[in-house]
Structure 1
Amino acid sequence: MSNKPKSLPVLQERVDDLPVLIAQLREMGVPELFNQAFKIHRNWSGLSFGHLVSAWLVFVVSESNHRLSHLQPWAEQRLHTLQTSFGVALVATDFTDDRLAQALRYLSDDAGWQRFEDLLNQRLIRVYDLTGNTIRLDSTTAKSYGTITPDGFLQLGHSKDHRPDLPQLKINLSTLDPLGLPLTVTVTNGACADDPLYVPEIERVRATLQRRGLLFVGDCKMAARATRVNVAAGGD
């Protein structure tokens, strides 16, 4: 009988920041909340929609790369790390271009995003005991070299980047003080004025926090009469 020790297979993977990012997503409940918020077809198989999108987010943050075609080879080199960190079974074919394209179609549902924001905010505020009543509202623009289409987000408008020749989109954001926690975000076309964006954002904040008596803070464009009337009438 041979006493020669048996050779053991050695698996080598780059861990990088993956365990930290995945642990944070799991603590926030992101994979489960994605599954709850978006209505996924019953024929979806393999890795769940929520875990697929969460792994994609980890890839984007870790690699600073959002390209669909780069996710599968990246995941294939880190399958053990991803599987252990997420606590679910997965294979490289869970991250194909086709599945990501299908996930993007689900993610384009505005109602699903609003449900996800509400669920995530309610969870974070409950878990971390975030009871602040001060909400900051502001908007910004992002210019692009993309093509302008009649119904698209990219439109010519007042440019804060001093590039009126480039189309832009507008992003409206609400955050909870003092942490600066993002609560809601709305993307509109770049030709839209700031004034009419405040009331819809305020209504979304009220819906996600489920309380009144809030202090809304914004710049001078928030002083429009319609906005002030809405804030006062809502008990804030």
Structure 2
Amino acid sequence: MGEGYSSKTLDHLGLLSRVCREFDIAGQIDKLIPPQSQEQHVTTGQAVVAMLLNGLGFVNQRLYLVSKFFEDKPLDRLLTPGIAASHLNDDRLGRALDALYAHGVSTLFASIASQTMQQLGKQPKDAHLDSTTFLVHGSYNSDKGAETVLHLTHGHSKDHRPDLPQVALQLIRDHYSGIPLHMEALNELQQ
């Protein structure tokens, strides 16, 4: 009797996985943020790639559902052999997000963008700066004087809703290729 065959769905995730592998996104992150323990099955870089894949395939789901998303996916092809869906649990992904925050996400983003441009052989000469605001709903501690990096504020809103709390995102991209070079979250946009 021959070996049994099985199939798993890749959808569009194979393309994103290949791009992440081509530019060694996980490896770049792991060089800057080394593993926190020898027992972890998933590095911070691998967790980020998993969250990217998840974000393009299972939008607006909570971290605890990420492992469920990957149950029918060929993780040995999308990420790395040896990683099981159960390894991509909310605890590991949350610790990866904490490590990214501790390192500084804007610094990390700029480093990855710089490496990507070098790999592509591009030297940006012109750049385009754009910004946008995101409305935030709910109760946050910015008003209570707690130590926070980003304070949600009321102010100039591109959605014309100055009555709601908001946060701003600023992005600088290469003018010709459109590749993002720098990204930073801001408290508010200046008029």
- TM-score (ref. length: structure 2): 0.85
CA contact (8 A) 1:37 1:115 kept: no
| Cα shift at 1:189 | 1.4
1:86-97 equivalences under 5 Å are: 86-97=79-90
CA distance in 1, matches of 2:162, 2:111: 38
Q: Which has the larger radius of gyration?
A: 1
- Measured after TM superposition, the shift of residue 116 of structure 1 is 2.3
Count of residue pairs brought into register by the alignment: 185
Counterpart selection for 2:160 from 159, 162, 173: 162
Given the alignment, which residue of 61, 79, 85 partners 2:78? Answer: 85
Q: Quick check: 1:155–1:189 contact (8 Å CA) kept in 2?
A: yes
The DSSP-based 3-state class of the residue aligned with 2:5 is coil
Q: 1:133 to 1:62 in 2, by over 3 A?
A: same
Q: Any conservation in 1 of the 2:17–2:78 contact (CA below 8 Å)?
A: yes
8 Å CA contact 2:151, 2:187 repeated in 1:
yes
Higher relative contact order, structure no. (Cα contacts within 8 Å, ≥ 6 residues apart): 2
Match of 1:49 in 2: 44
Cα distance in 2 between the residues matched to 1:121 and 1:188: 19
Deviation of 1:54 (Å): 0.5
Percent identity between the aligned chains? 25
How big is the shift at 1:178?
Answer: 0.9
**Quick check: which one's helix share is greater?**
1
Matching of residue 104 in structure 1 with residue 101 in structure 2 = no
2:137 paired with 1:140:
no
Given the superposition, is the C-alpha separation of residues 129 and 75 from structure 1 closer, same or farther in structure 2, using an over 3 Å criterion? same
Amino acid at match of 1:122: S
Tell me whether 61-70 or 47-56 shows the greater mean CA deviation. 61-70
- Does residue 117 of structure 1 match 2:100? no
Structure 2 counterpart SS, 1:127: helix
* 5+ long unaligned stretches in structure 2: none
Superposition CA RMSD, Å: 2.1
Residue 10 of structure 1 corresponds to which residue in structure 2?
Answer: 5
Deviation at 1:167, TM superposition (A): 0.7
CA change 1:189–1:118 in 2 (3 A) is: closer
Name the CA distance, whole Å, in 1 between partners of 2:75 and 2:53: 10
Q: What is the rounded CA distance, in whole Å, between the counterparts of 2:166 and 2:122 in structure 1?
A: 34
Q: Is the 8 Å Cα contact of residues 52 and 94 (structure 1) preserved in structure 2? A: no
